[in-house]
Amino acid sequence: MTPGVILLAATPIGDAADAPPRLRRALTDADLVAAEDTRRLRALASRLGVRVTARVISFHEHNEHQRAPDLVRAAQDGARVLVVSDAGMPAVSDPGYRLVRVAADAGVRVSVLPGPSAVLTALALSGLATDRFCFEGFVPRKGGDRARALRALADERRTMIFFESPHRLAATLADMAETFGADRQAAVCRELTKTYEEVRRDTLGALVDWASGGVRGEITIVVAGAEPVVASVVDHVGRVLALADAGARLKDAAATVAAETGLSKRELYQAALDARG
């Protein structure tokens, strides 16, 4: 029997015309389609002019744990299993991660049909640094949990990307402004690739004011990373003196602090001498 495959297929995040040609072929050729929302899948197929003859089953966050072994067994039996979420790439803030893990453990081939991504689309539109970034998904809904999650990212130097619902956007931006600083640069991307696409680039403080009036649509937030903290000899000379007072030679104390901070050993030593008078 020819081994089957599990294919994770990206679907349009707004405009159906963004669907890659391979998606049409995959929908036609699949033996089994696992869809986050079966009605949306059939609506998408209709817009693409594709008739899905495969069996279609629901596959979402509440049943992924139970359905994953069944999908893996189907692939083991030779089936072409297609997995699609409502929009974007399965397994990226959508069902699919557990399935990939189960398939990998079973030695079943998993492949990807690449396509639209709200994460990368928002990053490209943000005007913020793209060389290093991290995707944080949805922040916690409750205020206290959200504040703690953001505090853990206060020193993150990579550009950060978040998903958020429109009715929580203002509160989330306010917490970001409090944690990251109201002057931190950010972008709110709304309704990406859709008719009313909008990108607001400003400081977090200004974006809070804008969002307080109410915002609709699918939301992706992109926030600039923290600026690197530049170490200062003045800030660390006390540490040198403390090590010296504890019994270390002054030069050795300066060398220790230099290794910890990246500062000049000579400048630390001279600053410690000056401080001692």
Q: Are 32 and 61 in contact (CB under 8 A)?
A: no
Q: Which residue has the higher pLDDT, 188 or 240?
A: 188
Report how far Cα 187 is from the mean position of its chain's Cα atoms: 14
Domain 5-116 has CATH 3.40.1010.10: yes
pLDDT tens digit string along 100-138? 999 999 999 999 999 999 999 999 999 999 999 999 999
The reply to whether domains 5-116 and 119-223 share a CATH topology is: no
Q: Are 83 and 90 in contact (CB under 8 A)?
A: yes
> What does the pLDDT read at residue 3?
76
**If DSSP codes are grouped into helix, strand and coil, which group holds residue 9?**
strand
**Residue 232 above 90 pLDDT?**
no
**Residue 1 above 60 pLDDT?**
no
Q: Which of the four pLDDT bands, split at 50, 70 and 90, describes residue 2?
A: low
> How many angstroms separate the Cα of 28 from the Cα of each of 14, 22, 57, 254?
21, 10, 15, 69
Total number of residues shown for the chain: 277
> How many angstroms separate the Cα of 262 from the Cα of each of 35, 197, 257, 266?
52, 45, 8, 12
**If DSSP codes are grouped into helix, strand and coil, which group holds residue 132?**
coil
**Residue 146 above 90 pLDDT?**
yes
- DSSP annotation of 214: -
Domain locations along the chain: 5-116, 119-223, 233-276
The predicted model scores a pTM of: 0.80
- CATH number corresponding to 119-223: 3.30.950.10
pLDDT tens digit string along 12-25? 999 999 998 899 99
In whole angstroms, what is the distance from residue 70 CA to residue 190 CA? 37
pLDDT tens digit string along 46-74? 999 999 999 999 999 999 999 999 999 99
> What does the pLDDT read at residue 191?
96
Mean of pLDDT over the chain: 94
**Residue 217 above 80 pLDDT?**
yes
